[in-house]
Structure 1
Amino acid sequence: MEIKLFEQLELSTDLKKAIIDMGFEKTTPIQGMAIPHVLEGKDIIAQAPTGTGKTCAFGIPAIEKIDIASQMPQVLVLCPTRELALQISRELKKLCKYKRNINILPIYGGESIERQITALKRKPQIIVGTPGRVMDHIRRKTLKLQEIKTLVLDEADEMLNMGFREDIDIILETIPQDKQFILFSATLPKAILDIANKYQKESAVRISATPKTITVPTIEQFYLDVYEDKKTEVLSRLIDANHFKLMLIFCNTKRKVDDLYKELLLRGYRIDALHGDMKQMQRDSVMNKFRKGLVDILIATDVAARGIDVDDVEAVFNYDIPSEQEYYVHRIGRTGRANRKGVAYSLISGKEIYKLREIERYTKTKIQKISPPSMEDIKENKIKSIIDEIKVEISKENTSKYLGYVDNLINEISADKNITSYEITAAFLSKSINNLTIGSSSKVRSDELEVNRDKGMINDKRYARLFINLGSKDKLQTAQLLKLIINNTSVKQKEMGKLDMLEKFSFFEVPKYHVEDVIESLKTKKFKGRKINIEVANKKNR
């Protein structure tokens, strides 16, 4: 499916302005396929994994069809976890930036239901919720669904895996039959197809944006785990340590492109920038210089890179990890073209490691971790590069016209000192090294660049081990404990570390930045009438 510009879609001016503010200019494949059908009012069953831009795929057309004169819920989005409900709500609120009279409310377990009841009285038109909490409000009659026009099931297979099938059926029976039903699922097992066949119209459109394995064997893929404020230095060292002729650097925003362009220009690189704010004449000028090798490095956003069709790009750098996994595939595909060799580097910092892992799963590719080059590495590589160039010149057998200059130099210097031809060659090599553009800073030590994480995602210093007073004697299974944690906190299943269930209590691991939320969310809960006690595990209760 051809990638479309959002500008080409039949959307309101307010919505287009919000999309531009979010930094989006082109659709992802799932957005390009789904949005036109959803705008037409068709039911959709879409196979699409996380990270493909699903929220905008259903959110943009759903928002476009909201009747702001009505203060009843018109859109209901069901999703499996609290974290996803909050994430979708944030994205939809950004899309509604210039639509002042549209209200969005996330409802999920782990938050006071009384607070949500108060918020529901403010008449939100869009509800984003987990099935269990939506059911709670239906039973209390605090959420009325008779005016729902659009129902979205996001990550439907995950909701079924978590045991929400019965809740989903009850909710679907409650909603008017003439509603538009949009279903997104990473996989389409029989249970999902049964739901689609039972509740969707016969005219439902089936679309797919399943992952594509990167099959270009000529592209080597690496990542570097570095500090955010050291990314430019690491990027400079990668450039300096290699002998690439044409390079592409990708940033997620126009502002980042401009800022990085200025930084690298000050470091002495032959560089130019390309982004959506530039006029076509400017873009053409930049591209001509890049094709002709008048600039070595081009920094661009994903959209600006659409027109880049240069076979000689030897390296792609992801200065920012792309917002959508599909973009990663498009980015690195700019190198290794026409059966040439290419290399792709991704600079990650902090939580971007999770995005990288999702990209690996999405592309079914293992990306190799490397360390930033040291200044010694850079110097050695530069010397090797110059020597290789000298060998090429010698092989051309066209150096004889310079031999007279060398003879004169030896005679002139040897008159005062006993200098050999070896020393003169070394002097030329030294001078060549000093004249090369090296933007890396020798003031920054290599150990100041790289983040030293322990190997693996689990049992490392970024994870905390928690104690909970529930165990096998409570007739609790491991899967039930896992569901209890995920349904009531912002922790995703893929983020969970080791879980050890004992007779009277259990231990489990979560990323440290989730600890406060997990404790606050679960300490007020009860399991089969028993109050939950949860705390960070210490030596005493370990």
Structure 2
Amino acid sequence: MSAEPTPTTTPTPTDFAALGLAEPLQRALAELEYTQPTAIQAQVVPLVLAGQDIAGQAPTGSGKTAAYGLPILQQVDLQLDAVQALILVPARELVLQGRAELKRLGKYLPNLRVAAFYGGHSFSEEAKSLKQAPQVVIATPGRLFDHLDRRTIVPNNLKVLIIDEADKLLELGFQEVLANIVMRLPRRRQTLLFSATMPDKVLDLVRKNLTRPRQVQADVERETLPESLTLLGHVGTAEQKPAALYHLLQRPETGRALVFCNTRQRCEELARFLVSRGVAAEVLHGKMPQPERDKALLKLRNGSALALVATDVAARGVDVHALDTVIQYEAPDKVDTFQHRAGRTARAGAAGTAHMLATPAEQAHVQRFPLSKPVQWTKMKVEALPPATKAAKPTSVTLHVSAGRKDKVSAHDLVGAMVNVAGVAREDVGRIEVFDHYSYITVPRQLGPEVLQRLTGARVKGKKIRVSEVR
């Protein structure tokens, strides 16, 4: 069924109008201010529309979701209530991020349904939602296999399978699950595979599952990071690191920061240290309950937290737009981890800074990575720490609202309630995020108590809501 990938030599379009996309997709792209395709999008979209299998390699932040999402959305039959496209990704965050992006791109496609399935979420609720089948499903491998095994998803009408972040899927041990999923799918289908790196295990996956694939590469001729990214290294003792981190976070230019540690225990210790010094910091790791992970990410996105201390569960798939700074508190073992950490900032052409706090041994280890050549190394200069204190309260507050998508509540509905019921000026309504059964709203801290009082017990879309402060 397979063959070695064939390199792409076809000239690539330089604007979205030349990609052959339908008018509703072009309208959504214009509204999103996507004016020019990225390298991976310009190469992939025409090939997918032509029915080619693809083995694509592109770094983090290259626009892969739109590269495969746009042609998939163009080709699904919106009048057919059947799963026609399956997208596999390694983590829940990537599932939700991918669904949101596909919905934005397909905003003007009537009857489009995109479903997100992942572990830790109610299986019975997912099965119930499949009574009206979505055309596109994005899922983690384990949960998709459960649906196929229990026949809550019957893929008889499947047109295309997408395996995204293939290197990460294999690193997490999904080889057997992937094989079992593919066995349950129609043999006549289009298959697209994307990976940041192409080790032998990924190439073996390509050979076994793709038919005469076209090889697509974007910005991977050499290991690279965005040109707009500044790499700074600070060398000192392990004992100097906490104070060095604290003072980095105090700099105005640091802004919102993602701080990477190698272990869950170190993340929790470091977050406690920062909070004790008055820094609004949250923690993120894989052992946290999902609502707590959602809350931590939300606080970083809306400015309620200035630092998120995370393990590498956050290195891929964390959706934090305009992230100013990444700080690697501990050196990673592998070059691709270094790349994915640093690549969380300076995305889509924006400027960003990635710091590394390293002992001499860690510096020597990282300097073996070709990717680390641009790092500007200096000796760590550490000022004295202030005494421990209570955490300073951020200027905004996040409110939890007990209504969400399943209650037919939208961000527009919540803005209306904030303005008309709570009496908040439209410009004071901050970031709103709507989930299935609840929503989050950000407002200036001084308005929080009044909004709580006025909104609690109010009705939005006929549902009586409860409102509480997220702490």
TM normalised by structure 1 equals 0.42
| Structure with the higher helix share, 1 or 2 | 1
